[in-house]
Amino acid sequence: MSYRNGPDARGLFGRFGGQFVAEILMPLINDLAAEYEKAKGDPAFLQELAYFQRDYVGRPSPLYFAERLTEHCGGAKIYLKREELNHTGAHKINNCIGQILLARRMGKKRIIAETGAGMHGVATATVAARFGLDCVIYMGTTDIDRQQANVFRMKLLGATVIPVTAGTGTLKDAMNEALRDWVTNVDTTFYLIGTVAGPHPYPAMVRDFQAVIGKETREQLQEKEGRLPDSLVACIGGGSNAMGLFHPFLDEPSVKIIGVEAAGYGIETGKHAASLNGGLPGVLHGNRTFLLQDDDGQIIDAHSISAGLDYPGIGPEHAWLHDIGRVQYTSITDQEALDAFHTCCRLEGIIPALESSHALAEVFKQAPKLPKDHLMVVNLSGRGDKDMQTVMHHMQDQLEKHA
Amino acid sequence: MSRLQQRFAELKQQNRAALVTFVTAGDPDYPHALAILKGLPEAGADVIELGMPFTDPMADGPAIQLANIRALEQGQNMLKTLSMVREFRKENSQTPLVLMGYYNPIYHYGVARFVADAKEAGVDGLIVVDLPPEHNDELCEPAQAGGLDFIRLTTPTTDDHRLPKVLEGSSGFVYYVSVTGVTGAQAATLDHLDQAVARLRRHTELPLCIGFGIRTPEHAASVAQRAEGVVVGSALVDRIAKANTPAQAVEDVLSLCRQLAEGVHNAR
């Protein structure tokens, strides 16, 4: 049996996934699925994709032995997959390049996207600029406030950033608004979803574009250590960086795989973004997955210090991998992530994104307990430049508390 | 014969179209939403769509988004929505009532329990925006087996190739979403409607109800000349948003309903 054959023809991973969208979008989504099927078997498309991944994104990203973090933990040998070195500073561009090439094949002239932390928005604005397509980014007002630098970057790149005030003004609300744009402009517009969620074929397509992370990791570790890793760790909001790292290893039983959700103030407080550890199956944004919801099936707003994890759902393939137990999903609080953020800055001279800091915090918990020959790969999915404001505010708050 | 079939048969005999009204359950609050619901038939509504509130109404424009928020803030939930229907049915056994909304609150309530409770409460049909025919096994089939009609949305993007699949599981009536967009957006041209209606009639004998962007009695009348039903939602819901008091909201919604009914009922 393989864990890598999903989804089925209806877009389902076990009972998760599917195509739960308004009828108006169905014909388009079916077209997209058909076009993607064609493209992924077309050598010309794959060649073009490989060209842009190498010369524009800067792939392959290094697999770096984090010597000082390893010393600090005193256990497992820690490798960082340096996705933060990609053009635009995160893994998001891997998917954006793939989808924009597809949008061109389909003759679409207008690109829309949702963004939380702004990394997907920046990556989308970047590829739209490169290919001369109109670009509209939906972003919640709460996220706009905490990610000013990324808002400015998107504007520099020629995108229109539309503030979304609905709900709590975070990623979920931005996605609702992008869907509303899409149903309105269905003929001209390509919706460039940033994570392994949404209706089929998005979860599979985004996974495939991100799987370059895991494929490279496999080859690079083989070169450096002559074998497979013993464990993989990645943070999860929607789950695209994690799925990209995990997928090529799912059928290797010796590889332990750990996804890290955002526990916010702690799962017991209810203020978190851990949909697997603190949610229930439900249907939102085109797919069935685990969702934060109340007794009436109303969606609850997520909380995380990191805007990129601040989403009440998770990609359906993760929901399935959780259900069948192939991947272990843990959670890390805001405070633990911040501590890991500082440790990585001081010890490695790398400023990680707050999202990736959740993965690092999990590594710092687990690595000390593991033997020195245990090979652990953590996905450093993004760089932390965008988080300066958030971290600064947090440090000031802490100082005031202790004053 | 179901209440929906009965109603459309009567209207056909009278050679007039149905006014189909949409309001959200619990908007502006439970007692006043119930007063609106109870007042609608007398104000000329032939079929009632009652929205089940949801936090994330992806296919709705600002007016109905706000209606959802108002209702949820007043503590509306599925149990209360069903009890509204029960209270309505104590006084009215003739007017078909269709629940409209999104799948998650139903899924969370439990499909079998929902179908049974909705039927028992006096619901006639369901419109669930995010359940295309690809997922008929989720709710469409259980609902029809449980005696509820499942009303499909068809849209300008639903082409001839796809229409049979969409219509296959439809019953009650067919709802034509006349524009690509969210609820409350601008209206389709009459030319577009003529073409769309002709196309749909080639595929189905079910009554056609047309909605999205219909706001005035005059506009409703021109749609009523072309289809079996005219759906008005956002314009009614706007009256609730603009009212100074909940009591005023009841009065304003019912007054607009009367004007719309006059347009629809005298159109032919």
A79 and A97 within one domain: no
A306 and A250 within one domain: yes
**Quick one: tokens of B225?**
């000349």
Options A114, A177, A355, A362, the catalytic residue: A114
Q: Which residues of B touch A296 (CB under 8 A)?
A: 77-78, 105, 108-109
A263 and A153 within one domain: no
Contact A282 B107 (CB under 8 A): yes
pLDDT for A28 equals: 92
CB B225 within 8 A of CB B263: no
pLDDT for A307 equals: 86
- Predicted confidence (pLDDT) per residue in A272-288, tens digit: 999 999 999 999 999 99
Q: Which residues of A touch B177 (CB under 8 A)?
A: 23-24
**Quick one: tokens of A273?**
């973004």
pLDDT for A209 equals: 98
Average pLDDT over residues A299-305: 93
Q: How confident is the model at residue A167 (pLDDT cuts 50, 70, 90)?
A: confident
- Identify the three-state secondary structure at position A265: coil
Q: Does some domain include residue A275?
A: yes
| Residue position matching structure tokens 């014909």 | A27
Tell which A residues from 24 to 63 touch B, by Cβ distance under 8 Å: 24-28
Q: How confident is the model at residue B169 (pLDDT cuts 50, 70, 90)?
A: confident
Contact B54 A298 (CB under 8 A): yes
pLDDT for A402 equals: 76
pLDDT for A223 equals: 98
- Identify the three-state secondary structure at position A161: strand
Rounded-to-integer distance, Cα A193 and Cα A199, Å: 10
Contact B156 A298 (CB under 8 A): no
Does A272 touch chain B if contact means CB atoms closer than 8 Å?
A: no
Q: Which of B79, B104, B111, B127 has the most A C-beta neighbours within 10 Å, making it the best mutation to test the interface with A?
A: B104
Q: Which residues of B touch A26 (CB under 8 A)?
A: 132, 134, 157-158, 162
CATH code (residue A112): 3.40.50.1100
Size of interface A-B (CB pairs under 8 A): 117
Give B263 to chain A, closest Cα distance, Å: 28
pLDDT for B181 equals: 86
pLDDT for B41 equals: 98
Q: How confident is the model at residue A389 (pLDDT cuts 50, 70, 90)?
A: confident
Contact B182 A180 (CB under 8 A): yes
A364 and A226 within one domain: yes
Nearest to B265 by CA among B95, B6, B46: B46
A175 and A81 within one domain: no
**Quick one: tokens of B11?**
């209207």
pLDDT for A1 equals: 85
Chain A: residue whose CA lies nearest to B106 = A297
A154 and A130 within one domain: yes
- Predicted confidence (pLDDT) per residue in A50-100, tens digit: 999 999 999 999 999 999 999 999 999 999 999 999 999 999 999 999 999
Instruction: Report the C-alpha dihedral over residues B121, B127, B130, B135, rounded to 10 degrees.
Output: 80
Q: Look at A23-37, A180-194, B174-188 and tell me which has the smallest mean pLDDT.
A: B174-188
**How many CB atoms neighbour CB A403 within 10 A?**
5
A117 and A18 within one domain: yes
Average pLDDT over residues B41-65: 96
Q: Does some domain include residue A129?
A: yes
Chain A: residue whose CA lies nearest to B154 = A23
Boundary (domain end) residue, out of A202, A226, A251 = A202
Rounded-to-integer distance, Cα A72 and Cα A365, Å: 12
Cα–chain center distance at A126: 17
Task: Considering only residues B178 and A205, tell me which one the structure prediction assigns the higher pLDDT.
Answer: A205
* Domains identified in chain A, total number: 2
- pLDDT surpasses 80 at B263: yes
Contact A25 B129 (CB under 8 A): no
Q: Which residues of B touch A180 (CB under 8 A)?
A: 58-61, 182
- pLDDT surpasses 80 at B150: yes
Q: Does some domain include residue A303?
A: yes
A80 and A45 within one domain: no
pLDDT for A147 equals: 87
pLDDT for B195 equals: 95
Range of the domain at A326: 61-89+211-402
Range of the domain at B131: 3-265
**Quick one: tokens of B43?**
């104000």
pLDDT for A91 equals: 97
A353 and A271 within one domain: yes
- Predicted confidence (pLDDT) per residue in B89-139, tens digit: 999 999 999 999 999 999 999 999 999 999 999 999 999 999 999 999 999
Q: How confident is the model at residue A134 (pLDDT cuts 50, 70, 90)?
A: very high
A217 and A196 within one domain: no
pLDDT for B167 equals: 95
Contact B135 A285 (CB under 8 A): no
A293 and A194 within one domain: no
Chain B: residue whose CA lies nearest to A285 = B58
Q: How confident is the model at residue A295 (pLDDT cuts 50, 70, 90)?
A: very high
Query: What's the mean per-residue pLDDT of chain A?
Result: 96
**Quick one: tokens of A75?**
């256990």
Q: How confident is the model at residue A326 (pLDDT cuts 50, 70, 90)?
A: very high
Q: Does some domain include residue A2?
A: no
- Predicted confidence (pLDDT) per residue in B2-52, tens digit: 999 999 999 999 999 999 999 999 999 999 999 999 999 999 999 999 999
Average pLDDT over residues A31-49: 97
Burial A92-103 (b: 16+ CB within 10 A, else e): bbbbbbbbbbbb
pLDDT for A170 equals: 84
pLDDT cut 90: percent of chain A above it: 89
pLDDT for B148 equals: 98
Options A92, A108, A172, A256, the catalytic residue: A92
A279 and A159 within one domain: no
Sequence-ordered alpha helix ranges (H) in B18-162: 30-39, 62-73, 78-91, 103-109, 111-121, 140-145
CB A128 within 8 A of CB A135: yes
Contact A280 B108 (CB under 8 A): yes
pLDDT for B83 equals: 98
Does this model's pTM top 0.80? yes
Query: Which phi and psi angles does A373 have, rounded to 5°?
Result: -95, 10
- pLDDT surpasses 80 at B55: yes
Contact A20 B107 (CB under 8 A): no
Task: Considering only residues A316 and A307, tell me which one the structure prediction assigns the higher pLDDT.
Answer: A316
pLDDT for A308 equals: 86
Q: How confident is the model at residue A235 (pLDDT cuts 50, 70, 90)?
A: very high
Q: How confident is the model at residue A398 (pLDDT cuts 50, 70, 90)?
A: confident
Nearest to A161 by CA among A90, A126, A209, A112: A112
Does A328 touch chain B if contact means CB atoms closer than 8 Å?
A: no
- pLDDT surpasses 80 at A382: yes
pLDDT for A116 equals: 87
CB A78 within 8 A of CB A344: no
Q: How confident is the model at residue A124 (pLDDT cuts 50, 70, 90)?
A: very high
Q: Which residues of A touch B135 (CB under 8 A)?
A: 18-20
Considering only CB atoms, A186 lies closest to which of B65, B135, B180, namely B180
Q: Which residues of B touch A8 (CB under 8 A)?
A: none
pLDDT for A228 equals: 98
Chain A: residue whose CA lies nearest to B108 = A297
pLDDT for B183 equals: 86
* Domains identified in chain B, total number: 1
CATH code (residue B188): 3.20.20.70
Report the DSSP beta bridge partners of residue A104.
none
Cα R_g (chain A), whole angstroms: 20
Rounded-to-integer distance, Cα A9 and Cα A105, Å: 23
Give the angle subtended at the CA of A234 by the CAs of A61 and A286, to the nearest 5°: 105
pLDDT for A293 equals: 98
Hey, which residues of B are catalytic here? 49, 60
- Identify the three-state secondary structure at position A191: strand
Contact A280 B55 (CB under 8 A): no
- Predicted confidence (pLDDT) per residue in B215-258, tens digit: 999 999 999 999 999 999 999 999 999 999 999 999 999 999 99
Average pLDDT over residues A371-385: 97
